[in-house]
């Protein structure tokens, strides 16, 4: 009890060496010998703190009060839409047809866009790389609903397998449908590891995508084996034809094979 009393009487100057004790005013409070400096936070700091509390109420009401279009998710969607508009400004609203699916098959940066559509909508059923899960493998040479490249549009817009493959007409924009179709077409024969067993029939190869606009395609393309344009094509005629009239081009791709077979 007496030692306790002693502590009580001790001042801060008994505990700290003299030159370490600031000269600041004391509050006069004494807690078991511990004294309290009178050092309040600056007024501006306290007012800032109070202001944040006051600000919180209208903020809460504005953004979380249930008014439409004001949540973070809403503004994210708006930003996304604006960004997409910006990107699509370059190609405009493309027609959903075979010709455009072939055209974007030859444009890697737009295939990359199609890939983002695929990643956010299709991987749950077709696998991360398109190897198949609930939906079929899109990386082999076999197709169940697709006979020619334009059928991707039909399958995408209307779905397939009595709804097992959903219809995307009302969920994706026309541009997204075309670009994701091109991306899926580009997956053909990538044969990802761990892909599902093939389903359906083997179908003729896609028509070659046309060359970029700025290169007026060689008119004499068919004249020699070495016209220096696309190395991947087996038939040079197809690339020239694909520009004008797509379904015809698709048919003609298989023709050179027939003639070679016949002559052998």
Residue 145 touching ligand HEC (CB under 6 A): yes
Token pair of 38, please? 């009178």
Please say which residue, 39 or 116, places its beta carbon nearer to ligand HEC: 116
Q: Shortest gap between Cβ of 84 and ligand HEC (angstroms)?
A: 15
Q: How many residues bind ligand HEC (CB under 6 A)?
A: 27
Q: Shortest gap between Cβ of 198 and ligand HEC (angstroms)?
A: 9
Please list the residues that pair with 202 across neighbouring strands. Answer: 142
Residue 227 touching ligand HEC (CB under 6 A): no
Contact residue for ligand HEC among 98, 105, 146, 196 (CB under 6 A): 146
Residue 144 touching ligand HEC (CB under 6 A): yes
Q: Shortest gap between Cβ of 112 and ligand HEC (angstroms)?
A: 15
The neighbour count for residue 145, using CB atoms within 10 Å, is 16
Angle at 189 between CA 185 and CA 194, to 5 degrees: 110
Q: Which stretch binds ligand HEC (CB under 6 A): 35-43, 85-93, 98-106, 145-153?
A: 145-153
Q: Which stretch binds ligand HEC (CB under 6 A): 39-47, 53-61, 80-88, 163-171?
A: 163-171
Contact residue for ligand HEC among 105, 111, 122, 250 (CB under 6 A): 122
Which string of DSSP letters, residue by residue, matches the chain?
A: -HHHHHHHH--HHHHS-GGGS--PPEEEEEETTEEEE--PPPHHHHHHHHHHHHHHHHHHHHHHS--TT-SHHHHHHHHHHHHHHHHHTTT-S---SHHHHHHHHT-HHHHHHHHHHHHHHTHHHH-TTS--SSSPPSSSSEESS-SSTTHHHHHHHH-BTTTTB---TTTS-HHHHHHHHHHHHHTTT---TTPPPP-SEE-PPPPPPPPPTTSPPPTTGGG-S--SS-SS-S-HHHHHHHHH-HHHHHHHHHHHHHHHHHH-
Residue 152 touching ligand HEC (CB under 6 A): yes
Q: Shortest gap between Cβ of 162 and ligand HEC (angstroms)?
A: 8
Distance CA 27, CA 98 (A): 84
Residue 161 touching ligand HEC (CB under 6 A): yes
Q: Which stretch binds ligand HEC (CB under 6 A): 27-35, 47-55, 143-151, 213-221?
A: 143-151
Token pair of 111, please? 């295939």
Please say which residue, 121 or 174, places its beta carbon nearer to ligand HEC: 121
Contact residue for ligand HEC among 71, 87, 116, 124 (CB under 6 A): 124
Please say which residue, 126 or 148, places its beta carbon nearer to ligand HEC: 126
Residue 12 touching ligand HEC (CB under 6 A): no
- Rg value, the chain, Cα: 35
Contact residue for ligand HEC among 21, 50, 82, 164 (CB under 6 A): 164
Binding interface with ligand HEC (CB under 6 A): 118, 121-122, 124-126, 134-136, 138, 143-146, 152, 155-156, 160-161, 164-166, 168, 180, 184, 199-200
């Amino acid at each position: 009890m007496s030692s306790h009393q002693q502590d009580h009487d001790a001042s801060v100057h008994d505990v700290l060496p003299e030159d370490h004790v600031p000269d600041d005013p004391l509050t006069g409070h004494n807690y078991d010998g511990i004294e309290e400096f009178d050092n309040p936070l600056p007024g501006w700091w306290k007012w800032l703190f109070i202001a944040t509390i006051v600000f919180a109420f209208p903020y809460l009401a504005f953004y979380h009060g249930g008014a439409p279009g004001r949540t973070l998710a809403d503004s994210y969607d708006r930003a996304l839409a604006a960004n997409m508009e910006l990107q699509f400004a370059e190609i405009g609203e493309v027609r959903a047809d075979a010709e455009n699916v072939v055209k974007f098959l030859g444009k890697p940066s737009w295939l990359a866009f199609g890939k983002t559509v695929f990643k956010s909508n299709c991987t749950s059923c077709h696998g991360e790389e398109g190897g198949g899960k609930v939906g079929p493998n899109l990386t082999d040479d076999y197709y169940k609903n697709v006979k020619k490249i334009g059928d991707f549009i039909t399958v995408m817009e209307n779905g397939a397998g009595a709804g097992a493959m959903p219809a995307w007409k009302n969920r994706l924009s026309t541009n997204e449908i075309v670009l994701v179709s091109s991306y899926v077409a580009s997956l053909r024969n990538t044969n990802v590891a761990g892909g599902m067993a093939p389903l359906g029939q083997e179908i003729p190869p896609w028509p070659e995508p046309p060359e970029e606009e700025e290169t007026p395609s060689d008119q004499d393309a068919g004249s020699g084996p070495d016209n220096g344009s696309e190395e991947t094509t087996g038939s040079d005629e197809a690339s020239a034809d694909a520009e004008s009239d797509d379904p015809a081009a698709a048919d003609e791709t298989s023709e050179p094979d027939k003639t070679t077979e016949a002559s052998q």
